[in-house]
Amino acid sequence: MMEWLLLIGLILLVAYLIWKIVTSPSVTVSTDKSEYAPGESATFSGTYTGPGGVSGLTVNIVVSPPTGDDYIVPATTTDGSGDYSTAWTIPIDAVDGTYTVSVSCSGATAQVTFTHNIRWSYNSMGT
| pLDDT tens digits, one per residue of 51-73 | 878 999 999 999 999 999 999 99
For 66-118, the pLDDT digits (tens) are: 999 999 999 999 999 999 999 999 999 999 999 999 999 999 999 999 999 87
**pLDDT tier at 127, thresholds 50, 70, 90:** very low
| 79 residue type, one letter | D
121: part of which helix (H) or strand (E)? helix 118-124
Between strands 97-105 and 108-116, the pairing is: antiparallel
> What is the pLDDT averaged over residues 35-39?
93
CA distance 12 to 29: 34
Domains of the chain, start order? 25-124 (2.60.40.1930)
Q: What is the pLDDT of residue 122?
A: 47
